[in-house]
Structure 1
Amino acid sequence: MLTLVLAIISVIAQAQGFLKAKGKIITDSNGNKIILRGMGLGGWMLQEGYMFKLGNIGQQYQIKARIQELVGQDATDKFYQQWLEKHTQKADIDSMAAWGFNSIRLPMHYDLYTLSVEKEPIAGQNTWIEKGFAMTDSLLSWCKANKMYLILDLHAAPGGQGNDLAISDRNPSLPSLWESRDNQLKVIALWKKLAERYANEPWIGGYDIINEPNWGFQDAKDFRGTEEKLNLPLRNLMIEITKAIREVDNNHIIIIEGNGFGNNYRGILPTWDNNMVLSFHKYGNFNTKAAIQNFLNLREEYNVPLWLGESGENSNNWFTEAIRLVESNDIGWAWWQSKKMGINNPWEIKITPSYQKLLDYWNNKGPKPSKEEAQTSLDELISLIQLPNNQPHADVIDAMFRQVKEHKAVAFKTHRIGSSVTIPAVDFDLGGQRIGYYDKDTASYHYTPGVNTQGNRGKAYRNDGVDIQLEDGQYQVFSIENDEWLGYTIEVEKAKKYQINLEVASKEAEGQIEIWSNDQLLSTTKIKPTGNDKNWKWVKAGNIPLNKGTQQLRIKFVKGNILFRTIQLN
């Protein structure tokens, strides 16, 4: 009976077939176009400092050293064992599948699969570590159960593949991937080992063989490899990796990335395999066709599919625009990342007071905690990285899926008016710019010269363009500019006139607010200064007629210069 059940499961798993590069698109085994909608599991196998407010420390090996200095080697080893067990579990993958993701990108650290060149007991040989392979097997089983593709991504290669040290956990005192033939041979051997293990697994979507190389081969001053013209060492190594994979696996897509964080393909093409995809990464630039035109040109010239292998780290409005852009051009995507300390991901890892003490110490802003205090903070962190204790951000998911297809505002939370209702100002509608709200600064274009926007300047509560900050235990909308507005979808149980009151604060300038519903102006109210930003006052904004049913109430700040906290209708 068990054999029969396993056989049935095998048939179901095999039915979808291997993904293939067919002309300019990715297809399933039946030739149907597949748009990959994926999430990268950043921070699991490989920690980058910025994910945990430790950008000043950077690489994972340095974070480990800081932890060891506080709690010792044994406790540090235990912490990282728990981290790998708890950070990402089946519940995480189940949730992502339910939201609409059909793929996962696994950023792998090579040292979970094999020893570093420096630690090999016999030079030139490879010691294999079961831990990384077992973790990958578990993740694959979770993906298969949800009919999701798993894309393997070598995020930290032996020696490190670039001068951005944190993304590959590179120690600059040791030879890099490009300065050591032994490191290169280890990369080749690792990919052959992975391909042997997963050659017949159709839910492996592909092999992303080197993440974000960034190296000046011709000119060391070209620190990130963005100006490189030939890229011969990168091309040659990727050809060697491909050859090793094809010795044992002819089923899977091989995904390549250019120099300069995946985007500099000069000298790398033409392709050398008939089942290959070009990946590019996109951060902090405009979401126009011009921004991706170079990659579209490569697709046309070399008849090869494209994949946006990494993007994110921005506002919801930017997410919607970017996904809409690439999907309209038959390009799939993998977002970065599922969880970290911050609001621009599906889940947020919370910061406890004890962890803040660690941050203060590591950032030279506070005293050294005792061993017991540090251990308590680390134990709390292990708890907080787990899904049940993450802070979910439904606004991020809505922006990545519903808003891409639907230009409509929906309620962030249900606001039902019976006799009265109180609405926090920060609970405005989902829907994005000019749909759920209007803000003059909706995204960060940090890689666009001369554009100094930020999105949510307070980086609290939500990832929309509206500026939200936490003050005295309450969230408030701040930095409000003239003509910005917030929309609130409300459910009115009884048609009548309602008194509307607004809780506001201001320093000096007089503000002015208009109340709109269904494109009809209902009231205009001047807001007198309250003296300072902490002196909150209720302002009567008029009796407004509301019809029974669902409608959007719009608060427009004709003159900004105020802070806004609460709406009250009765």
Structure 2
Amino acid sequence: MGDAARLNPPCTLLRVSGVNIVNAAGEQVVLKGAGLGGMLNMENFITGYSGHEHEHRATLEEVLGKDKADFFFARLLHHFFTEDDAALFASLGFNCLRVPFNHRHFMDDDNPSVIKQSGFELLDRIVNICAQYNIYVVLDLHTAPGGQNQDWHSDSGVHRALFWEFRDFQDRVIQLWEALAAHYAGNPFIAGYNPLNEPADPKHTRLISWYERAEKAIRAVDPDHMLFLDGNTYAMDFSQFPVDKPLPNTVYSCHDYSGMGFPLPEQYEGTDQQKAKLRSSFKRKVEFMQAAGVPIWNGEWGPVYQDPRTDPRAAETNTKRFALLKEQLQVYREFGDVSWSIWLYKDVGYQGMVYTDPESPYMTLIQPFIEKKQRLGLDFWGICDKSGIDNEVYGPFIAKLKESIPEHLHKKKYPKTWTFDRQVERVVREMLMSEYMGWEMAELFRGKTEEELEVLAASFALKNCKTRDELNSILTLDAERSSSGSR
């Protein structure tokens, strides 16, 4: 098992006590770790495909055949997180892994009332590995039938959050959480349940009603585990949540990404104005938790990093990103013992604490495809520079569209924080163009044998990956501060 197992104290059932999370002995526990995105819920920028996971799986099945496609994805999931990863995770001082999963692992649209045992087997494997190192697990439903938000990571394939428009979708997710709660009731390695990642209900009221339903249904089966409830509009808006009626034994979760940590015009320079901006943004997101007297969990946050192979100024830019990271951690300390889960643990090199070796078989195969995606601006999260395609194609195209829509209507559509350009980009780039590009990527796998597919999948094994050491050192220092300060 290794020395790393001794770094974390034994796991017990956790519960909410005022503004703190405590263990069975009543001692405060501050949860710090990362999200395991890209595994049981795949995302385009994390593993390199385009568009949505269900489309990616379908195109590979079309090219490879069902048996070989199933083999490849099974081996990819196997290598993505193993005991080696848990040992590294614990050695960095982390005590909690947020595990996003796709509802499709548990239910099929053509047989929606049946919960598949295979989904539990996938989750159990991760939980059992984490248990060896006393790492808590937060179970995060990252996709819901119909899509609980308008973005690619809900894997709906459309640009509307249909989950809120069909009671059947909402009922199916209640059914899934009842099954999950029954399966994990009493398990001390489960920190709790995160029923919906980044919900985006245009009316706001339906989310709160659904949370109330979910809480009652889950607690009827499992009265002990905590809930982790994301705010509305991508976990950033609690304005409609009732301050006087927080749900019992519940942690409320915001997501705290800063645009200064992405390839956008404003970069973090450490000015007083930027520091004040970080604090005011976080304060707005956690006002509900402070007023309601409940714990704060920052379920996702973190900058992205430039690749020195393609960006001559990568080192300079990444120094600014690490400075931003440090300042955000300082903000969280100022707001008390904020638990957090950085996004993310492992990917193909954009944001992960661990990333695939650029010289690995998988990256050698798909790197030209990734570069083409970036030139076309298809991945919202993974676009390094949109100026080329915007100037040549999208700029004139969107300008013409804007002329036909009165300006006062440009932000009429929810989410109202999205610009008109973003709404068009979501449909044209991230859906239509990405779907076409998905077939192009699938062709890269044509004719591969199972032996070759195994080698490609093994590129994600920790022994074949690289670690982002400066990022990990910064996070470890903060985790150690919390560990020494917890009582």
Q: Does TM, normalized by the shorter one, top 0.5?
A: yes
Shift in CA distance, 174/303, structure 1 to aligned 2, threshold 3 Å = closer
Report if the CA contact (8 A) 2:161-2:201 is conserved: no
Matched to 2:186, the amino acid is N
What are the superposed Cα offsets for residues 370-397 of structure 1, whole Å, 9 maximum, x if unpaired? 7226988754430101111111222111
Structure 1 distance, partners of 2:63, 2:254, is: 40
In the alignment, which residue of structure 1 is the partner of 2:15? 20
Report if the CA contact (8 A) 1:358-1:374 is conserved: no
Structure 1 distance, partners of 2:122, 2:445, is: 33
In the alignment, which residue of structure 1 is the partner of 2:415? none
In the alignment, which residue of structure 1 is the partner of 2:56? 63
- Equivalent runs, 1:433-452 vs 2, <5 Å: none
What are the superposed Cα offsets for residues 48-88 of structure 1, whole Å, 9 maximum, x if unpaired? 1111343xx22101212332343233322221122222211
Report if the CA contact (8 A) 1:163-1:215 is conserved: no
Of 341, 357, 365 in structure 2, the residue corresponding to residue 334 of structure 1 is 341
Shift in CA distance, 24/78, structure 1 to aligned 2, threshold 3 Å = same
In the alignment, which residue of structure 1 is the partner of 2:471? 396
Shift of 1:273: 2.3
Of 251, 276, 291 in structure 2, the residue corresponding to residue 277 of structure 1 is 251
Shift of 1:312: 1.7
Matched to 2:20, the amino acid is I
Matched to 1:191, the amino acid is W
Structure 2 distance, partners of 1:134, 1:368, is: 31
Please identify, of 70-79 and 189-198, the stretch whose mean Cα deviation from structure 2 is larger: 70-79
In the alignment, which residue of structure 2 is the partner of 1:78? 71
In the alignment, which residue of structure 1 is the partner of 2:148? 161
- Equivalent runs, 1:207-218 vs 2, <5 Å: 207-217=193-203
Shift in CA distance, 180/403, structure 1 to aligned 2, threshold 3 Å = closer
Instruction: Work out the number of aligned pairs and report it.
Output: 372
Structure 1 distance, partners of 2:209, 2:442, is: 50
- Equivalent runs, 1:295-374 vs 2, <5 Å: 295-314=285-304, 315-329=321-335, 330-351=337-358, 352-356=363-367, 359=370, 362=437, 369=444, 371-372=446-447
Report if the CA contact (8 A) 1:42-1:338 is conserved: yes
Share of identical aligned residues, percent?
A: 26
In the alignment, which residue of structure 2 is the partner of 1:453? none
Shift in CA distance, 232/336, structure 1 to aligned 2, threshold 3 Å = same
In the alignment, which residue of structure 1 is the partner of 2:231? 258
Shift of 1:250: 1.3
Please give the secondary structure, in 1, of the residue aligned with 2:202. Answer: coil
Shift of 1:96: 0.1
Shift in CA distance, 367/155, structure 1 to aligned 2, threshold 3 Å = closer
Structure 2 distance, partners of 1:283, 1:323, is: 12
The structure whose Rg is larger is: 1
Shift in CA distance, 401/233, structure 1 to aligned 2, threshold 3 Å = same
Shift of 1:291: 2.1
Please give the secondary structure, in 2, of the residue aligned with 1:401. Answer: helix
Shift in CA distance, 202/405, structure 1 to aligned 2, threshold 3 Å = closer
Gap regions ≥5 residues in structure 2:
1-7, 260-273, 305-320, 374-436, 482-487
What are the superposed Cα offsets for residues 87-145 of structure 1, whole Å, 9 maximum, x if unpaired? 111221121011110001010111112223xx11xxxx621211221122222222222
Shift of 1:175: 8.0
In the alignment, which residue of structure 1 is the partner of 2:96? 103
Gap regions ≥5 residues in structure 1:
1-12, 218-230, 407-570
Matched to 2:475, the amino acid is M
Structure 2 distance, partners of 1:77, 1:146, is: 30
Please identify, of 359-368 and 73-82, the stretch whose mean Cα deviation from structure 2 is larger: 359-368
Report if the CA contact (8 A) 1:71-1:374 is conserved: no
Q: Which structure dedicates a bigger proportion of its chain to helix?
A: 2
Structure 2 distance, partners of 1:374, 1:357, is: 21
- Cα RMSD over matched residues? 2.8
Structure 2 distance, partners of 1:370, 1:140, is: 31
Report if the CA contact (8 A) 1:109-1:157 is conserved: yes
Report if the CA contact (8 A) 1:317-1:399 is conserved: no
Structure 1 length as normaliser, TM-score?
0.61
Q: Which structure dedicates a bigger proportion of its chain to strand?
A: 1
What are the superposed Cα offsets for residues 523-547 of structure 1, whole Å, 9 maximum, x if unpaired? xxxxxxxxxxxxxxxxxxxxxxxxx
Alignment of 1:194 with 2:184, yes or no, is: no
Shift of 1:171: 2.5
Matched to 2:153, the amino acid is I
Matched to 1:112, the amino acid is H
Shift in CA distance, 402/236, structure 1 to aligned 2, threshold 3 Å = same
Shift of 1:401: 2.0
In the alignment, which residue of structure 2 is the partner of 1:551? none
In the alignment, which residue of structure 2 is the partner of 1:112? 105
Of 260, 267, 289 in structure 1, the residue corresponding to residue 279 of structure 2 is 289
Structure 1 distance, partners of 2:208, 2:63, is: 43
Alignment of 1:50 with 2:125, yes or no, is: no
